[in-house]
Amino acid sequence: MLEFCASILAADFAHLGQDVGAAEAAGVDVFHIDVMDGHFVPTISFGPLVARALRGVTAKPLDVHLMVEVPQQFVPELAAIGVDRISVHREVPGGPDAALAAIHAAGLKAGLVLNPETPVEAAEPYLPLCDQILLMTVHPGRGGQAYLPGSSEKIAAMRALLQKAGSPAIIQVDGGLNAKTLPEARAAGADSFIMGSAVFGGDIRRNLQQLRQAAGMP
């Protein structure tokens, strides 16, 4: 599997519909929405209203990453909007159990996010509840950061853990991905690549062409 997820955090919000349309035409598979509450991470981004607006301009799957302290509170509204996947952090206060249960109860695909300092073994108890594991390859909270050293080794370790557990969950990676770092992450075992500035920074069509070439796609 190889999936390109465009993170709208890097899009031009004055022309969001135009950027989304261009990315879809260029071959993006999924649109990724980072919801930040200013508490779990220092940054405040946007909430369900942006997801609703995005749902109105694309039929592509919407993948939501909740960087919030009480993620289960967001699930009913996001489900009603029509998002497809919601990922929550292993590190949330009290653990991710309630949020993962709420996501499945809403009929959506559930993901578990691990921060760079969280070992892959922390995901093991939750694998039966997960459709995807999102490995942060930068520290969460802002875009434009560099791919952290050791990230590819962590991806490989997660791939080994999933295989050992017999889990069908896919591995997503988020942070510092571009035409130079994507091949390394893919070779380590990642399936789904969340990219912001690498997609929306400059000529979107040309960017996607370069990313596909880097991934060995026609």
Residue-by-residue DSSP string for 71-92? GGGTHHHHHHHT--EEEEETTS
Residue with tokens 């220092």: 42
Position 60 scores a pLDDT of: 98
Domain boundaries, the chain: 3-214
Position 86 scores a pLDDT of: 98
195-209 confidence digits (pLDDT tens): 999 999 999 999 999
pLDDT of 142 over the 70 cut = no
Q: Is 12 exposed, middle or buried (0-12, 13-18, 19+ CB in 10 A)?
A: exposed
pLDDT of 218 over the 70 cut = no
User: Cα separation of 206 and 212, whole Å?
Assistant: 10
Express as a percent the part of the chain with pLDDT over 70.
98
Position 80 scores a pLDDT of: 98
Position 38 scores a pLDDT of: 75
Catalytic residues: 34, 174
Average pLDDT rounded to a whole number, residues 104-113: 98
Domain covering 3-214, topology: TIM Barrel (3.20.20)
pLDDT confidence band for 153 (50 / 70 / 90): very high
Of 194 and 43, more confident: 194
Average pLDDT of every residue of the chain: 94
pLDDT confidence band for 88 (50 / 70 / 90): very high
pLDDT of 125 over the 90 cut = yes
Lowest mean pLDDT among 2-6, 15-19, 85-89, 140-144: 140-144
34-73 confidence digits (pLDDT tens): 998 878 887 877 889 999 999 999 999 999 999 999 999 9
Show the DSSP H helices in the chain as ranges. Answer: 16-26, 48-55, 75-81, 97-105, 151-165, 182-188, 197-200, 204-214
Output the pTM of the full model.
0.94
Among left, alpha and beta (phi > 0; psi -120 to 50; other), residue 134 is beta
Average pLDDT rounded to a whole number, residues 134-139: 95
Average pLDDT rounded to a whole number, residues 177-191: 96
Position 174 scores a pLDDT of: 96
pLDDT of 216 over the 90 cut = no
Position 43 scores a pLDDT of: 80
User: Cα separation of 215 and 203, whole Å?
Assistant: 18
